[in-house]
Amino acid sequence: MRGRVGYRHAEPYLRRDFNSRCAYCGVHEQVKGGPQAFCIDHFKPISKSGPVNDYANLYWVSIPCNMIKHDKWPTSEQQHQGYRFADPCREQDVGVHFAETDDGLLQPLTACGEYHVSTLRLNRAWLREHRRDRTQKWERLNEAYQLQIELQHSIEARPTDDATRIMQRLLSFLSEEIQGLKNELTVAIPMW
Ligand SMILES: [Zn+2]
């Protein structure tokens, strides 16, 4: 990769390496209508002497995150105090910098988390609602799994009668609901 826009050739590799998700908010391309809603971000901005064509400085991100981040970078004074972006490529678990509440809010746990969450505006309404909704779906999925197991046991234990036939219909309904939830959760923002 050379020149001013050479880094654009990295797109297919970045999509693969970032699992088609935004490096910052975790949103999946599919939820946003495809890869056209994403772009390549220079983790360390070019204007702050970040390398232009170094693959290790290129991140696959959603367009809103890219626009919000723009050329923001902590000053050396801020860096000295621990304020910086969490780096999903060089840190084993960026989740140590913030925790998610039941209603989808990301609460910073470190100076890095504070800088990261506030600078990238990771508590913007859409993301927060998506995370809250995803957590509720996980809870419903767990409940549905539990019901499925109980229903299966119950059907096996009873002789065939009307109630059992209804239970069997209920079981297939439940299985379809479970599959639907699983499909949605596959592309939801992961649990931090
Ligand atoms: Zn994003």
* Alpha carbon of 61 to ligand 1 centroid (Å): 5
CA distance 158 to 94: 50
* Alpha carbon of 18 to ligand 1 centroid (Å): 12
User: What are the residue ranges in the chain where pLDDT is below 70?
Assistant: none
* Alpha carbon of 22 to ligand 1 centroid (Å): 5
* Alpha carbon of 91 to ligand 1 centroid (Å): 18
Q: What is the pLDDT of residues 123-175, one digit of tens each?
A: 999 999 999 999 999 999 999 999 999 988 888 887 778 888 888 889 999 99
The confidence score (pLDDT) of residue 24 equals 97
* Alpha carbon of 46 to ligand 1 centroid (Å): 19
The confidence score (pLDDT) of residue 5 equals 85
The confidence score (pLDDT) of residue 158 equals 77
The confidence score (pLDDT) of residue 167 equals 87
The confidence score (pLDDT) of residue 160 equals 77
- CA torsion 58-87-186-27 (nearest 10°) is -70
Beta bridge partners of 60: 40
* Alpha carbon of 44 to ligand 1 centroid (Å): 16
* Alpha carbon of 27 to ligand 1 centroid (Å): 6
Average pLDDT of the residues of the chain: 94
